[in-house]
Structure 1
Amino acid sequence: MKLKRIAFATLVAMGATLTVGSAMAQQRVTVNIGSSHPTTNIWAFAMKEVFQPEVDRLLKEGGAKYEVRWRENYGGTLYKFTDTRAAVRDGIVDVGMVGTVWENSAMPLQNVTYFTPFATTNHEQLIEIFDKLNATVPALRDSWAAQNMVPLSSLITDSYDIYATFPVKDMASLKNKRINAPGTSANWLRETGATPVDGALTTYYTNIQTGVTDGALSFASGIGPARVYEVAKNLTRIDIGAMYFGSVAVNKKVFDGLPKEVQDAMLKAGKATSVAHGKHVTKTANAALDTMKAAGLQITDLPQAEKTKWVNGLPNIVAPWLQGTGDAGKQVLKAYFDELRARGVKPLRDWDLQNR
């Protein structure tokens, strides 16, 4: 009797629950999941709505040997956007949204798209590409491992354009204009006559309203919810392109310690999350554009000849990135553009061929 009590206590301590109608115990695995953004945000939405239920479904269909107990920490309850890498790396959460766009020093390879604008506007295709690259390109895979992380699902933005108080009819329209262009995106305005000003979706509205800036480089799925269109009533489609933003990732030490069934479920659920994320961004961007047009947003396209002037007039902005990343950067740049062309994409500038 004493041995039975000890065995039962051990099962309880392990978080195991007995499956009805089966002599086999169902083991419960606790996973802390979270993000710096709320689940209404495009980068966190599919984590809650697709990744979690898909892991649950796969485990159940696989025999229900394991069950995940999710501890949710969305909306910045544990950490802010500046700490997404450290949060997953250090195990503050087991699974989290990692914004590599904010980690150019620690994870520069992941920011290749921000140094190669005018490549593709197809954000759903971009997800497919980076799901593949993160798994198959040694330099990318190793850089994630060096941060104690395993990427599960790629995150992107829809295409960047200019939302401003004026229409961009030609390159001359940009002269002496102050445009919000945070971080690396400031490079996209070099030699255009415009002055880049740092900022974020949370600051664009006030910046434009108060005259600090005349507009912002941004994307519809972000501009719409931020209501920037109320003060920037002109959208000029520049087609600067969709950008790889980061990944939903799992702490590698935690992942390595999980049962294989749970590991496999997470990897498969990550792929489903990527597909859902792409579709959600498409839906969100289209809905935002409908809302903005109904509110009076004027939409025009920069003439192709002017767009060509813009992209060809940019300095070789990927060269400094390559100098900093060396052979690994060359490997990633080549792999990225090879994947674009394999899918029939014709980048407006062959950044890879110019930097062999």
Structure 2
Amino acid sequence: MKLFKAGLAGALALSVGLASTNAVATERITVNIGSSHPVQNIWVWAMNNVFQPEVDRILEEQGGDYEIRWRENYGGTLYKFSETRRAVKDGIVDVGMIGTVWEESDLPLQNVTYYTPFATDDHKLIIKIFDDLSQNLPELRDSWHRENLVHLSTLVTDSYDIYGTSQIKSLDDINNMRLNAPGTSANWLKGTGAIPVEGGLTTYYTNIQTGVTEGTLSFASGIGPARVQEVAPELTRIGFGSMAFGAVAVNKRFFDGLPEEVQAAFREAGGIMSERHGEHVTKTSEEWLAKMQEEGLEIHELPATEKQRWVEGLPNLAGPWLEANGEDAEVVLKAYFDKLRENGVEPLRAWDSVVR
């Protein structure tokens, strides 16, 4: 009996010792993650609801040697929409949403979709293409690295249209119309007589309500949560297409200092985030369009003849972008349009046929 008790005590002691050893072996890594937008936003939703739990799950399945202590900074608590690149580049956060649409001077190659409108409204395909190109095309991958960033997951919009205070029946209706057009999307108004005004989803409502603008170029999954339809109850479907809006990226110095297992978990979770983000954009855009219609949103289609008039009347949008960014831009544009066609998409305008 004494031998049994002694054996039991020894086993318990060994068990406690092993547990203590395992606890000590778990390395906790603090990761600051954040965005300029709230978690209800389609891009931030993917970070908070997919990326974080997936990293945790993957590390646990790897054996639990590493554990992430997340410090969340969502909703613009640390920086605003115009500061997303700098916030991640400078380490204000370690992982963050970057809106490349606002970063034309520092991340011009990432804006290729905004220089080639009317290409495709398939946002899932855009994610697939730009996840591939951002990680495997040297010109695009290295442009992220030069900004001390590592691309993890592509963020997209559903198709851009115009939400306004009045219906647009023809191209002539937008002459002298003031429209919020974020970043390079202002190019889509060239030659139309419309007046582009810079802004973001966090500013549209007030801009339209106060008369600064009469509408905005935007997309259902963003407009709905921002309640912009309350002040811009007329949606005219133009079909500018879905855009590669930006990415979830990680500070490169921070990433390079992580253990290989954690780096692998970040990359794997980034891929899962892309897939779930695409599904979420589909679901969110459909739900919000239905909800907005119930609340009084009127939906109109720009006549096909007027749309073609718009497409053909645009100046050479890709040309100046190619001139400004050289051979790397040519490579990215060609790779993008090759991928579109490989997937059965023929854009309404062959922007890749432009010669510098």
The answer to whether TM tops 0.5 is yes
**Normalising by structure 2, what TM-score?**
0.90
Cα deviation, residue 220, structure 1: 0.9
Q: 1:145 to 1:212 in 2, by over 3 A?
A: closer
Q: Which residue of 1 aligns with 2:6?
A: none
Given that 2:41 and 2:225 are in contact with CA atoms closer than 8 Å, whether structure 1 keeps it comes out as no
**Alignment-mate amino acid for residue 92 of structure 1:** I
Establish whether residue 137 from structure 1 lines up as the match of residue 137 from structure 2.
Answer: yes
Q: Which residue of 2 aligns with 1:63?
A: 63
Establish whether residue 189 from structure 1 lines up as the match of residue 189 from structure 2.
Answer: yes
Given that 2:319 and 2:354 are in contact with CA atoms closer than 8 Å, whether structure 1 keeps it comes out as no
Establish whether residue 124 from structure 1 lines up as the match of residue 121 from structure 2.
Answer: no
Given that 2:178 and 2:196 are in contact with CA atoms closer than 8 Å, whether structure 1 keeps it comes out as yes
Given that 2:162 and 2:217 are in contact with CA atoms closer than 8 Å, whether structure 1 keeps it comes out as yes
**Alignment-mate amino acid for residue 32 of structure 2:** N
Identity %: 63
Q: 1:177 to 1:78 in 2, by over 3 A?
A: closer
Deviation by residue 1:100-150 (Cα, 9 ceiling, x = unmatched): 111111111111111111111111211111100101111111111111111
Cα deviation, residue 251, structure 1: 1.2
Establish whether residue 260 from structure 1 lines up as the match of residue 260 from structure 2.
Answer: yes
**Alignment-mate amino acid for residue 196 of structure 2:** P
**Separation in 1, partners of 2:47, 2:18:** 28
**Alignment-mate amino acid for residue 90 of structure 1:** D
Q: Which residue of 1 aligns with 2:279?
A: 279
Given that 2:322 and 2:329 are in contact with CA atoms closer than 8 Å, whether structure 1 keeps it comes out as yes
Given that 1:19 and 1:26 are in contact with CA atoms closer than 8 Å, whether structure 2 keeps it comes out as no
Q: 1:308 to 1:245 in 2, by over 3 A?
A: same
**Alignment-mate amino acid for residue 177 of structure 1:** M
Within 5 Å, which residues of 2 pair with 1:1-356?
A: 19=19, 25-355=25-355
SS at match of 2:203: helix
Deviation by residue 1:164-223 (Cα, 9 ceiling, x = unmatched): 222222222223322222321111111123222333333333333344433221111121
**Separation in 2, partners of 1:213, 1:294:** 25
Q: 1:27 to 1:231 in 2, by over 3 A?
A: closer
**What is the aligned residue count?**
340
Q: Which has the larger radius of gyration?
A: 2
**Separation in 1, partners of 2:230, 2:93:** 37
**Separation in 1, partners of 2:18, 2:158:** 46
**Alignment-mate amino acid for residue 78 of structure 1:** L
Deviation by residue 1:255-302 (Cα, 9 ceiling, x = unmatched): 111111111111000000111111112222112111110012111111
**Alignment-mate amino acid for residue 348 of structure 1:** L
Q: Which residue of 2 aligns with 1:5?
A: none
**Alignment-mate amino acid for residue 146 of structure 1:** R
**Alignment-mate amino acid for residue 311 of structure 1:** V
Cα deviation, residue 23, structure 1: 9.0
Range that drifts further, 129-138 or 76-85 = 76-85
**Alignment-mate amino acid for residue 304 of structure 1:** A
Aligned-residue RMSD, C-alpha: 1.9
Given that 2:81 and 2:200 are in contact with CA atoms closer than 8 Å, whether structure 1 keeps it comes out as no
Q: 1:164 to 1:303 in 2, by over 3 A?
A: same
**Alignment-mate amino acid for residue 284 of structure 1:** T
Structure 2: any 5+ residue segments left out of the alignment? 1-16
